[in-house]
Amino acid sequence: MKKYIKWGIVIIVGAGLTTLGIHTFTPRENEDLAAVKDVAPTQKNRSLNINAQIIRPHLLTDELFVSGKLMPDEEVDLSFEASGKIVDINFTEGTFVKKGQLLAKVNDSQLQAQLKRLEAQMPLAEDRVFRQNALLQRDAVSKEAYEQVKTELATLHADIENVKANIAMTELRAPFDGVIGLRQVSVGAYASPSTVIAKLTKITPLKVEFGIPERYARQVKKGTNLDFMITGRLETFRAQVYATESRIDPNTLTLTVRALYPNTQGELIPGRYADIQLKREEIKDAIAIPSEAIVPEMGKNKVFVYRSGKAEPVEVALGIRTEAEVQILKGLAAGDTIITSGTLQLRKGMSVVIDQLN
């Protein structure tokens, strides 16, 4: 009886294992793969919503944006040519002064005394020359005697001019029209040629100095117009290039350029930084498209064009670039509709739907 039970158990276990093996190795449909197959045709036929733009020729301005600074037309640290005690200061700080205006003076009493002594000798010296000349006309004196008194008179004239020149060196005069700054000395102080009395600045006109990359060196020249803005001011100011440096700076690889701004009202002061906009070229009826429409690929540039509900790639040749646009030299024409969004998702012949057309 036990023997029959044992064989029955063996038979049941064997049948179970056989059934399991048949179920495991029987081919069945892959549900995940079937789901993908069902979805794939739907995705393949799906359209991409895009923005597009119709190409319209328009004026394209080639601009260069750089930073610069405002500089005075002229500026100098004022100082005396002679040493001495300052006896007078004739200017008010921060005011406008005219060229030649007396600003300050050092003591010249000794020089004034010398000048008076020499000027006192002039009538006698001139009289001697007059009398010697009259005698020479009558052959009463030699020509050498006449020439000697003439030389003495000329020497006296030279001495007087020398003293006057020394007196002029004790006077500090404005070398040009401008605004005088804060004075650095007081009356009674001893001044030497190395002592700075004040700074004189000519602010009409102002110079605008800036550097441009070397690749633009040939394009910016005398007469080039530019616009610039100053922090805190809403208006735009116009200046014109008047000179460029003679060589490229080897350290910065830039060319230094200077322009003039009239500043007739003196509203701007030197030392401020300026945001400069240079208009290098204006192209009329240019074919230009937004930068985001360009798709670089394998060293070439392409643009997707909307044609009958499909996206079609077109290879283009690029021209100048501005902040927002790129000039197209070849590949597109006026009236073409270019796709400006979703360009990285586009493929040739892909169905697209325009959401927004500009």
pLDDT in tens, 178-209: 999 999 999 999 999 999 999 999 999 999 99
Q: Are 210 and 228 in contact (CB under 8 A)?
A: no
- Lowest average pLDDT, out of 27-36, 161-170, 208-217, 314-323, goes to 27-36
Q: Are residues 214 and 159 in the same domain?
A: no
Angle CA 301–305–311, to nearest 5: 105
Enter the tokens of residue 183.
């004075």
Supply the range of the domain harboring residue 308.
Answer: 48-60+285-357
The phi and psi torsions of 163 (rounded to 5 degrees) equal: -65, -40
Highest mean pLDDT among 77-86, 215-224, 301-310: 77-86
**Closest to 228 in 3D by CA, of 71, 59, 60, 69:** 69
The confidence band for 11, taking pLDDT boundaries of 50, 70 and 90, is low
Question: Is residue 296, in this structure, part of any structural domain at all?
Answer: yes
Q: Are residues 187 and 93 in the same domain?
A: yes
Question: Is residue 34, in this structure, part of any structural domain at all?
Answer: no
Q: Are residues 210 and 157 in the same domain?
A: no
pLDDT over 70 at 21, yes or no: no
Q: Are residues 82 and 183 in the same domain?
A: yes
Query: Kind of pairing, strands 254-261 and 198-213?
Result: antiparallel
Q: How far is CA 178 from the centre of its chain?
A: 25
Determine the Cα–Cα distance for residues 343 and 345; give it in Å rounded to an integer.
5
- What pLDDT is stored for residue 302 in this prediction? 93
Determine the Cα–Cα distance for residues 21 and 10; give it in Å rounded to an integer.
17
Q: Are residues 341 and 296 in the same domain?
A: yes
Q: Which residues contact 11 (CB under 8 A, 6 or more apart)?
A: none
Question: Is residue 35, in this structure, part of any structural domain at all?
Answer: no
For residue 245, CA distances in Å to 3, 172, 176, 327, 329 come to 116, 33, 25, 31, 34
Q: Are 104 and 82 in contact (CB under 8 A)?
A: no
* Percent of all residues in the chain with a pLDDT value above 70, rounded to a whole number: 87
Determine the Cα–Cα distance for residues 233 and 278; give it in Å rounded to an integer.
19
Q: What is the mean pLDDT of residues 242-249?
A: 94
Q: What is the mean pLDDT of residues 226-246?
A: 93
Q: What is the pLDDT of residues 163-182, one digit of tens each?
A: 999 999 999 999 999 999 99
Q: Look up residue 294 and give its DSSP letter.
A: -
Q: Are residues 150 and 207 in the same domain?
A: no
Q: Which residues contact 100 (CB under 8 A, 6 or more apart)?
A: 173, 174
Q: Look up residue 284 and give its DSSP letter.
A: E
The count of structural domains within the chain is 3
Determine the Cα–Cα distance for residues 86 and 107; give it in Å rounded to an integer.
6
State the virtual CA torsion across 55, 61, 65, 69 in degrees, nearest 10.
Answer: -160
Q: Are residues 349 and 270 in the same domain?
A: no
